[in-house]
Amino acid sequence: MARSSAHSASVLHDIHQRQRADGPAAMLGIGTANPTNCVLQDQFADWFFRVTKSEHLAELKAKTKKICDKSGITKRYFYHTEEIISGHPELINGALPSLTTRLGIIEDAAPKLAAEAATRAIADWGRPAADITHLVVATNSGASEPGADLRPAGLLGLRPTVRRTLLYLHGCSAGLVALRVAKDIAENNRGARVLVACAQAELLLFCPPDESRLDVVVAMTLFSDGAGAVIVGANPASSPMAMERPIFHMVSASQTTLPGTDQAVVMNLRENGLLDSHLSVEVPTLVQGSINKCLADTLAPLGLLNASDGGWNGLFWALHPGGGAILDSYEAALGLEPGKLAASRHVLSEYGNMMGATIIFVLDEIRQRRRRCHDDGKDCQWGVLSGLGPGLTIETIVLHVTDSQDEN
């Protein structure tokens, strides 16, 4: 009996080892997409108050313009247009039910955006879509099942056997959560190729200005629509027929929820059809007081926090640009040199905050900057991918960049 038990344990161990990858997961392709409707930030207040029939709120409109001027954003993209809004008066009248309308619009928008970004990521990867074994979709836009995972799978021509995971309402950290899940899948399933797609269509947030809710106005000046996609896999193929070039290796992933902050970032779907998103003004202060220890706890066990190598400035940084104040809090707390967050600030300027999709835009921007040799962090091989989510939760992924991408 003892011999039989030992044999079974040995067989189980061997099966387990054969199922797992030999190395860390890597990002093998990146793609992004935005709707065609672009609104310049210096024209947003005029557009917003016009389409919501709120131009009589002259003082609030003036405040909105000032917020836009200080946002660090130059333009944003939206799926919803003036025509869509005018065709659905319930979108700007809180007394009318609008959930069915909003979900109907974004259930079409989010999958299309996700599929467009995924198509570009697959092309960047260089292998057929049929080689994808797993699909992880994260979105804050939707509340249905089948949802925003099944539709893109059909649009992309993925196999019926593709294993799907759908993540809802992880806020700004949605992209990092999806990448963390993909890392675990890739490293524990030999040969797995995981498509991560994050799509944001902010129609669930959209509402007319309210003089009693300045935080709502701030949200309207910050959030936007877009999608990002990443192909994740371990043990990159090196044959001429299936050459894969790792962009970033995903070395470790962690999640920390700050005690006593469960009301700092909140997202709730309300009866009137709105996704009530609350971001406490204390979030930048909370981050500044906690991020140093949080990141140290993540990097120190890896031996990557070395003062002689420049400390925090010896790394490259891919931070989710939740807003200018959030980036400032990271910069101040970590003592980062000017330019370390240039990629995040650039994405915020060009696209606004696309929630979970934004971090994929930042990763792509860092890759492009390294290729153009414009990035102060080009000599840094190790980096930090980080963002904030409801909780207040800090997601962190440690990255290692590969030389092959720099040579392209």
Residue 373 near residue 342, CB atoms below 8 Å: no
| Burial (0-12, 13-18, 19+ Cβ within 10 Å), 130 | exposed
Q: What is the DSSP string of 340-357?
A: TTHHHHHHHHHH-B-GGG
The CB density around residue 157, as the number of other CB atoms within 10 Å, is 11
Which residues have a Cβ under 8 Å from the Cβ of 190 and sit 6 or more positions away?
18, 19, 20, 21, 22, 234, 235
Q: CA 262, CA 279: separation in Å to the nearest integer?
A: 11
Tell me how far the alpha carbon of residue 176 is from its chain's centroid: 6
Q: Which is catalytic among the residues 172, 198, 294, 380?
A: 172
- Tokens for 212, please give them: 């009693």
The CB density around residue 146, as the number of other CB atoms within 10 Å, is 11
Helix (H, G, I), strand (E, B) or coil at 102: helix
- Within 146-243, residue ranges assigned H as helices are 150-156, 174-188, 214-222
Residue 50: left (phi > 0), alpha (psi -120 to 50), or beta?
alpha
294 catalytic residue (yes or no): no
Residue 388: name the closest of 295, 268, 249 by CA. Answer: 295
Give the start-end residues of each E strand in 53-192. Answer: 75-78, 134-139, 163-168
Q: Cis (ω within 30 of 0) for the bond into 392?
A: yes
Residue 322 near residue 172, CB atoms below 8 Å: yes
Which phi and psi (to 5°) does residue 222 adopt? Answer: -110, -45
Helix (H, G, I), strand (E, B) or coil at 182: helix
The CB density around residue 83, as the number of other CB atoms within 10 Å, is 10
Residue 101 near residue 91, CB atoms below 8 Å: yes
Q: Which residues are catalytically annotated?
A: 172
